[in-house]
Every structure is written in structure tokens, then in C-alpha cells.
């Protein structure tokens, strides 16, 4: 139940042969992060995550974080000690800027570290994830004084960070927030308001918590145009860098959640708390998107990582659990892995997990190209592709996280529904990932509302055309690739048809496009995942490992023949428009339900 085996061979193959990591390591600034160095580093990281972090997962779920009478939050047994080891080992600093004490490794390497840590313990991993988002916002928009004061200890992990966006009345409508920021005579601001759903808003694992808080200054424009971003530390920082008095930030309560019990989700109250402006007034949304875009890929990785942990457990259970007789069996009972439907569930998990890993790493490589490639045109195009992939990775990744952990539970049968087996925890933990950091519906709206329209649709159509080049490679690869090529071609046609419909419909009927945005995003996820699996199958023979080449071919073929066909079936939903979604008002919907019951 607490055992986790880092899939390092799969990750190494992905980096070297599928997503082209050696090309990333050759970019300026990444010369020290060659593939050999990275593989060795990841082996050490995987060992730490499996030995130190993974055993805390079950205990953290049972015990949870607790709000004490004095208003402080205590994390589950072992968390504080393991986090100290994590900081001392420097795992959080690996992909962060060298200027502030980080390792300066590519984001791609950071994504792998995050997968390993999240598989080990998702609730634990949320603290470093939020800290990284806060760091990136400060790197991009903080002035030199703020960077010097806060970044070095945030990069090491000695200080952690949060993102304070949501308020009770606002939800995902950030523009409706009412937290106010009034400028003080010394240039700081007095922050007053309440924030909800603040992950690791208070805890005992670090001495300092640096809150990034969205608030509105007096006279600011209404809506999102009037939002500013502020650093509000738990403790004020003295001129010599030491911690001073406690700021007026109070934890009112912890949410009682379905999962990730060990991660304290706080309701925070600010009463004239001292804050410091990040960037310029009324530019908070721009800063927020730096934090959110970083976190959205990270949340997609959570879907992959928890699905991997659940898959490992369900595979082990399927090998050990004996029940009934499989076809041709001679023993008194068969392991359930010998039954076709259990094999179907295991293969579905395995294929989707491999596809997700390739997609997450591909997105990360484009992020690295967008920041470090010396050619401005390459940087610009990489930024466009990362913009397309990020909502797909976040939404499709977390949807599959829910679906695959549910399959893992199903393999356990009735025992999966019993908490002691641990299978249910994975399903409970990952359920939030489709909701936070922008719901998956918001990701789909972003895909069709912002990314689809880039350069009049040319950006996305060019990416689709690039994907379709694999059809020629598959044609020349041999008969064993024929069904993969045939199915990919058919599904690319459906995706292109949906894309052109979206482009033709968008300006005249935005609600129609939004109505089909979720199935359209899933079409992209299915096609992109199949494309990456096909790339892996084509690349695997070059390794000289016949078993690896065979397994990659089987995964790509299984996905193409049994999972990818869902894409074309979504074409109707993606292009149906909004007519029937709005045909019944609330009273009619209620009436229809009553007639069904009667």
C-alpha cells in the first residue's frame, strides 16, 4: 500500500527517445544538465521519494493536518521531518534560477521531479508546487528589493509560498474579489479581506510563508482590470533578513475535504496586514497568469502521477488476487490478471499513463525552448505550442487521473471500496485536480477562446499539420504499424473538421463554440496522446532493446485501436452548438426530472 516504484526506465526512455531532451540540454544555459547527469540525478530523486516521502502518504491521509487552538496548523506525523530532508537535499531548487541559489536545470527536469514527488505523496507535493508558482511570479515581476529579500530562501524551500486568489463570493470569477489594499506612508500596503481554498496557507514545515495576494486598491477599475498583486509574509522580514513580528494574517479554519487530507486548505483573514506591491498597480491578472500557467502544467502532472501510483497498486493486486478460473487454467484458482476484462483495465491505465507522460514532458520542452532558445522565432513558436498544450495537459491529464484511479479501484473489486486497501485514497485525492487552478471547463474555454484564435487559427492548424507528418513515417515503418496509421489518420480528420468548425463558428456564435469546448479539448488530448505513443513506438527499435520496442508498439496499437476511436465519436458533441443546452429553462429541467421519477 505504501510501496512506490519510480518508473525511471520509462522516464529515461521518454527523455532520450521521445521528447528530444538532448536538444533541450544543448540550449544556452542548460549545458550542465546533459542527459547523463539528469538520469543520475533522477535516480537519486526517485530513491528519496520512494524511501522518504511515499511512506507518509497513507498516514497523512488518515491523520490529516490539524488547526490548533492558538490558530497554528500542524501537519501529520513525519511531514515536518521529511520536508526538512527535502530542503536539505535541494530537490525543490533543481529547476529554479541559479541567480537565487537554484540548480538552473530545465523545466522538463522539474516536471519529472514533480511527477516522482506527487506519486509518492500528492498532499505533500502541493506545498512545493505552490511555492514554485510564487517564485516564478516574483522572478518575472518583483523588484530587486523583493527578489533579494524573499527569493533565496523560497528557492531553497526554507520559506514556502502560496497563491491567494479565491474569495467566498467570487469563486473562479477573480474580478469579483473585494480584498482591499490601502497604501501606507512608508510605501507598503494595508491588506484587508478574506481568502478561501489557500493550499498550505499555514503549516509547521517552514518558518516563513510568503503569501501572494490579489487585492484591489482604492479607486481601481472594476473587474479584472483593477486587480493588483501583493506579497504578504506570515512574518515581517527585518532589514538584516531575520524574521520580525507576526503579520496580521489569521487562519480561521481548515476545509474538511474529500481527499488530500494532509494538505491544509485554509480560510485566511487579513486585517490591515502589511503587504508589498509586486509589479505595478492594476497588473495583478498578468502576474496571476504567470503563477497559474506554471501551476496548470503541474496539476496536469498530478493526474499522471496519482494514476501511476494507483496503477502500480492495482497491477500488484491483480497478480496476487486469486479468484475463479480463467480460460485454459489448470490451477484451483486463477490470478485475476488472467481475465480479459482485468487486462483491458490494466492496459487502459498503462497506455493512457504512457501517453500522458509523453505529453507533459513535451509541453515542458516547449516551455524550455520558449525561454532559452537563441532564435526569437523559435522562442515565439514554442510559446504558442506550450500555450496550446498547457490547457490540454491540465484538463485531459486530470480527467484521466480521475478515470484511471477509478479503474484501479475497480480492479480491486469490493476491496477497493474499503479504505484499508488504500485504493480509494488515490481516487479521493486526485478528484480535486479537475477543479482547482482553473476548472477543466475553464481550460476548455481557454483553448477555444484564446489559443484557437492565435494568428487567426493558423497556430493550431500548423500544430495539427506537424502532428500529421507522422502518418508518412508510419506508412514506411512496416505492416505492424498499419492500423496505428489508419486510425490516427481517421481521428486527425475528425479533429481537423472540429477545429475548422470552431474557427468558422466562433465570432458569430461564441456560446456554440463554448458549448462544444470540453469534448473538443478531449479530442485534442486523445489525438495528441496517440501521436506521442506512435512517436515512441517508432523510436523504440533504435534502442536495441527488442522487449522495449515490442511493448511500445503494443501500447501504441492498443491505444489507437481501442481508446483513440473515442475522438471521432466526440465530433458531434464538439460541433452541436448551444441549442439544446439552453432549450430548457430551470423549471423545465426540474419538471423533466419529476416526470421521469413518476
Name every residue whose Cβ is closer than 8 Å to that of residue 97 and which is 6 or more positions away in sequence: 104, 139, 155
- CA 240, 241, 246, 247 dihedral sign is positive
pLDDT at 64: 98
pLDDT digit string (tens) for 240-286?
999 999 999 999 999 999 999 999 999 999 999 999 999 999 999 88
CA 319 to chain centroid, in Å, comes to 30
In Å, how far are 33, 184, 389, 488, 573 from 523, measured between CA atoms? Answer: 35, 51, 13, 12, 11
In Å, how far are 52, 150, 240, 427 from 138, measured between CA atoms? Answer: 30, 9, 20, 34
Instruction: Round the CA-based radius of gyration of the chain to a whole number and report it.
Output: 24
- Directed axis angle between helix 340-372 and helix 107-120, to 10°? 140
Name every residue whose Cβ is closer than 8 Å to that of residue 414 and which is 6 or more positions away in sequence: none
Q: Are strands 159-164 and 208-215 parallel, antiparallel or unpaired?
A: parallel
Residue with cell 546533459: 34
Whole-number Å distance between alpha carbons of 166 and 170: 7
Whole-number Å distance between alpha carbons of 229 and 590: 42
16: closest CA among 540, 598, 437? 540
Q: What pTM was computed for the model?
A: 0.95
527: closest CA among 365, 396, 363, 353? 396
Q: Has 496 been annotated as catalytic?
A: no
Q: Are strands 189-199 and 235-237 parallel, antiparallel or unpaired?
A: unpaired
288: closest CA among 163, 172, 388? 163
Other residues' Cβ atoms within 10 Å of the Cβ of residue 572: 12
For residue 157 the three cell numbers come to 524551500
> 115, 308, 437, 487: which one is catalytic?
437
Per-residue pLDDT of the chain (598 residues; tens, 9 = 90+): 568 999 999 999 999 999 999 999 999 999 999 999 999 999 999 999 999 999 999 999 999 999 999 999 999 999 999 999 999 999 999 999 999 999 999 999 999 999 999 999 999 999 999 999 899 999 999 999 999 999 999 999 999 999 998 888 776 677 778 999 999 999 999 999 999 999 999 999 999 999 999 999 999 999 889 999 999 999 999 999 999 999 999 999 999 999 999 999 999 999 999 999 999 999 998 888 887 777 899 999 999 999 999 999 999 999 999 988 888 777 788 899 999 999 999 999 999 999 999 999 999 999 999 999 999 999 999 999 999 999 999 999 999 999 999 999 999 999 999 999 999 999 999 999 999 988 999 999 999 999 999 999 999 999 999 999 999 999 999 999 999 999 999 999 999 999 999 999 988 999 999 999 999 999 999 999 999 999 999 999 999 999 999 999 999 999 999 999 999 999 999 999 999 999 999 888 888 556 555 5
Cα dihedral 362/129/409/51 (nearest 10): 100
Count the residues in the chain: 598
Residue with cell 501521436: 531
Other residues' Cβ atoms within 10 Å of the Cβ of residue 271: 13
119, 49 contact by CB (below 8 A): yes
Amino acid at each position: 500500500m505504501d510501496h512506490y516504484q519510480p518508473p525511471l526506465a520509462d522516464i529515461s526512455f521518454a527523455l532520450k527517445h521521445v521528447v528530444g531532451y538532448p536538444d533541450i540540454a544543448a540550449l544556452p544555459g542548460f549545458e550542465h544538465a546533459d542527459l547523463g547527469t539528469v538520469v543520475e540525478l533522477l535516480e537519486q530523486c526517485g530513491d528519496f521519494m520512494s524511501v522518504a516521502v511515499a511512506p507518509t502518504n497513507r498516514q497523512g491521509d488518515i491523520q490529516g493536518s490539524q488547526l490548533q487552538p492558538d490558530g497554528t496548523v500542524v501537519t501529520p506525523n513525519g511531514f515536518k521531518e521529511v520536508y526538512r530532508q527535502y530542503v536539505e537535499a535541494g530537490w525543490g531548487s533543481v529547476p529554479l534560477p541559479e541567480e537565487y541559489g537554484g540548480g538552473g536545470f530545465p523545466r522538463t527536469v522539474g516536471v519529472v521531479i514533480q511527477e516522482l514527488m506527487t506519486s509518492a505523496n500528492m498532499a505533500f507535493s502541493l506545498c512545493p508546487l505552490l511555492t514554485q508558482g510564487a517564485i516564478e511570479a516574483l522572478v518575472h515581476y518583483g523588484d530587486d528589493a523583493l527578489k533579494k529579500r524573499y527569493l533565496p530562501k523560497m528557492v531553497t524551500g526554507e520559506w514556502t509560498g502560496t497563491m491567494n486568489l479565491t474569495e467566498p463570493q467570487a469563486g473562479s470569477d477573480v474580478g469579483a474579489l473585494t480584498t482591499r489594499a490601502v497604501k501606507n506612508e512608508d510605501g507598503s500596503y494595508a491588506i484587508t479581506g478574506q481568502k478561501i481554498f489557500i493550499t498550505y496557507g499555514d503549516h509547521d514545515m517552514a518558518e516563513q510563508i510568503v503569501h501572494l495576494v490579489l487585492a484591489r486598491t482604492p479607486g481601481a477599475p472594476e473587474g479584472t482590470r483593477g486587480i493588483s498583486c501583493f506579497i504578504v509574509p506570515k512574518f515581517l522580514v527585518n532589514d538584516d533578513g531575520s524574521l520580525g513580528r507576526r503579520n496580521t494574517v489569521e487562519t480561521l479554519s481548515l476545509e474538511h475535504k474529500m481527499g488530500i487530507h494532509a494538505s491544509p486548505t485554509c480560510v485566511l483573514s487579513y486585517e490591515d496586514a502589511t503587504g508589498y506591491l509586486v509589479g505595478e498597480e492594476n497588473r495583478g491578472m498578468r502576474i496571476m497568469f504567470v503563477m497559474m500557467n506554471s501551476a496548470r502544467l503541474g496539476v496536469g502532472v498530478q493526474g499522471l502521477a496519482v494514476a501511476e501510483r494507483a496503477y502500480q497498486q492495482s497491477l500488484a493486486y491483480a497478480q496476487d488476487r486469486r479468484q475463479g478460473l480463467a480460460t485454459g487454467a489448470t490451477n484451483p484458482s486463477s490470478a485475476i490478471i488472467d481475465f480479459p476484462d482485468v487486462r483491458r483495465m490494466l492496459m487502459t491505465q498503462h497506455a493512457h499513463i504512457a501517453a500522458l507522460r509523453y505529453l507533459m514532458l513535451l509541453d515542458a520542452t516547449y516551455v524550455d525552448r520558449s525561454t532559452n532558445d537563441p532564435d526569437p522565432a523559435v522562442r515565439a513558436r514554442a510559446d504558442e505550442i506550450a500555450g496550446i498544450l498547457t490547457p490540454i495537459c491540465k484538463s485531459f491529464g486530470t480527467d484521466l487521473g480521475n478515470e484511471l484511479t477509478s479503474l484501479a479501484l475497480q480492479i480491486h473489486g469490493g476491496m477497493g471500496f474499503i479504505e484499508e486497501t488504500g485504493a480509494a485514497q488515490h481516487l479521493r485525492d486526485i478528484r480535486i485536480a479537475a477543479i482547482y487552478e482553473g476548472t477543466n471547463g475553464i481550460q476548455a474555454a481557454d483553448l477555444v477562446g484564446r489559443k484557437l484564435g492565435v494568428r487567426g487559427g493558423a497556430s493550431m492548424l500548423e500544430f495539427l499539420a506537424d502532428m500529421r507528418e507522422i502518418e508518412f513515417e508510419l506508412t514506411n515503418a512496416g505492416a505492424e504499424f498499419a492500423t496505428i496509421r489508419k486510425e490516427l489518420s481517421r481521428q486527425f480528420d475528425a479533429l481537423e473538421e472540429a477545429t475548422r468548425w470552431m474557427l468558422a463558428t466562433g465570432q458569430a456564435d461564441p456560446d456554440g463554440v463554448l458549448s462544444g469546448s470540453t469534448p473538443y479539448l478531449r479530442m485534442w488530448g486523445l489525438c495528441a496522446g496517440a501521436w506521442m505513443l506512435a512517436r515512441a513506438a517508432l523510436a523504440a527499435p533504435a534502442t536495441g532493446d527488442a522487449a522495449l520496442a515490442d511493448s511500445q508498439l503494443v501500447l501504441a496499437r492498443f491505444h489507437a485501436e481501442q481508446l483513440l476511436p473515442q475522438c471521432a465519436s466526440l465530433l458531434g458533441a464538439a460541433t452541436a452548438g448551444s441549442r439544446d443546452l439552453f432549450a430548457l429553462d430551470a423549471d423545465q429541467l426540474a419538471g423533466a426530472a419529476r416526470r421521469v421519477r413518476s
